Amino acid sequence: MKNGMIECSVCHSKLHSPSPRTVSRAYDRHRSKVSSRARALNIFLVVGDCIFVGLQPILVYMSKVDGKFMFSPISVNFLTEAAKVLFAIVMLFFQARHQKVGEKPLLSVSTFIQAARNNVLLAVPALLYAVNNYLKFIMQLYFNPATVKMLSNLKVLVIAVLLKIIMRRRFSIIQWEALALLLIGISVNQLRSLPEGTTALGLPVATVAYIYTVVFVTVPSMASVFNEYALKSQFETSIYLQNLFLYGYGAIFNFLAIIGTVIFKGPGSFDIFQGHSKATMFLICNNAAQGILSSFFFKYADTILKKYSSTVATIFTGIASAALFGHTLTMNFILGISIVFISMHQFFSPLAKVKDEAPNGTLEMMDAQNLRPKDVSFINMTAGAAEDASHRVGPDEREPLLPK
């Protein structure tokens, strides 16, 4: 963008920078025209997310010994990031071997350096995720697995507000009401669920739990929005290359946290495998798979869909928690999860879709010689948004930005 103008990368025509309202309208129209292939991808992502997200609190709970962690949660997060980096490297080599003739090589030094510069924003969600992954363990000290899962559903409302402010995403009144129902469902489940007693600091458990809850909800919500922004703003970059940067930053931040622990607790805490068991190894693999799946959510689907799919995992977590650890499924939990499912159905209902408004103005295309009317409209999703503009392109150039 230069001097308030955007230049097309295909025909080098120029157009006026669209308003946030125009961008939001284009995104809504794009989301309402989803192909069957995209729907199949969304279903696959939701099912996989439900499995991995549902297992995560269970595995964390199984990793505790006498209510405490015998290992360093930071070491688990570091090993998780290392596993994801390894997966990204393997998939990057696999993708490079199947490149078509004439495509820019993925493994060249110039491609890597250019992609690293363009995707430096991924360091922001990587840092936020490093903090959030540590908080996941802390939350388990105050709540049972099902309650932790229900609390995490509060992220949906925070993410919706952030999308509204940062990415100009539009939501209908029915969708806002669905989010309100979500809060009600979580509140019903949380009635009389806080543990009693005091902490080592002398503060009531409920007070510390509420503080951790606020951070636990806010930090990952910001991470999700920034992650979607960063991944979609460089949509032409291979997702495995982007994952390599994201997970690489995450591994660096967690390693720095390990170094900080060594400084304060001594060299003995540098052993990242100390206190690990089979449960923690399964936890590392599960967290790695969950993180990898999340990147596909943010790049090819939607952040709200990601968080609602995590909500579906709540019922699986509650039932598994009751079966494995004897936690009681109270009437509050059953009513709460029922309201959450009603909220999810209402949010994604066709009746809840945002209706197109009459355009406030028109965008005119300008080439090197003169002005000319638009012929073909296209949607360029950059930074989670889209420009409602168009230009003449060949048949082979009319490829949708998101996979069919």
The predicted pLDDT at position 235 comes to 87
pLDDT in tens, 246-259: 999 999 999 999 99
pLDDT in tens, 82-128: 999 999 999 999 998 888 877 788 888 988 999 999 999 999 999 99
- Per-residue pLDDT, averaged over 61-79, amounts to 83
Q: Is the pLDDT of residue 174 over 70?
A: yes
More confident residue, 268 or 85: 85
| Model pTM score | 0.70
**3-state secondary structure labels for all residues of the chain:** CECCEEECCCCCCEEECCCHHHHHHHHHHHHHCCCHHHHHHHHHHHHHHHHHHHHHHHHHHHCEECCEECCCHHHHHHHHHHHHHHHHHHHHHHHHHCCCCCCCCCCCHHHHHHHHHHCHHHHHHHHHHHHHHHHHHHHHCCCCHHHHHHHHCCHHHHHHHHHHHHCCCCCCHHHHHHHHHHHHHHHHHHCCCCCCCECCCCCEHHHHHHHHHHHHHHHHHHHHHHHHHHHHHCCCCCHHHHHHHHHHHHHHHHHHHHHHHHHHHCHHHHCCCCCCCHHHHHHHHHHHHHHHHHHHHHHHCCHHHHHHHHHHHHHHHHHHHHHHHCCCCCHHHHHHHHHHHHHHHHHCCHHHCCCCCCCCCCCCEECCCCEECCCCEEECCECCECCEEECCCCHHHCCCCCCC
Q: Is the pLDDT of residue 364 over 50?
A: no
The predicted pLDDT at position 214 comes to 80
The predicted pLDDT at position 30 comes to 52
pLDDT in tens, 200-221: 444 455 666 677 778 888 888 8
The predicted pLDDT at position 394 comes to 47
More confident residue, 96 or 15: 96
The predicted pLDDT at position 390 comes to 40
The predicted pLDDT at position 29 comes to 55
Confidence of residue 397 (pLDDT cuts 50, 70, 90): very low
pLDDT in tens, 21-69: 554 455 455 555 556 777 787 788 888 888 888 888 788 878 877 777 7
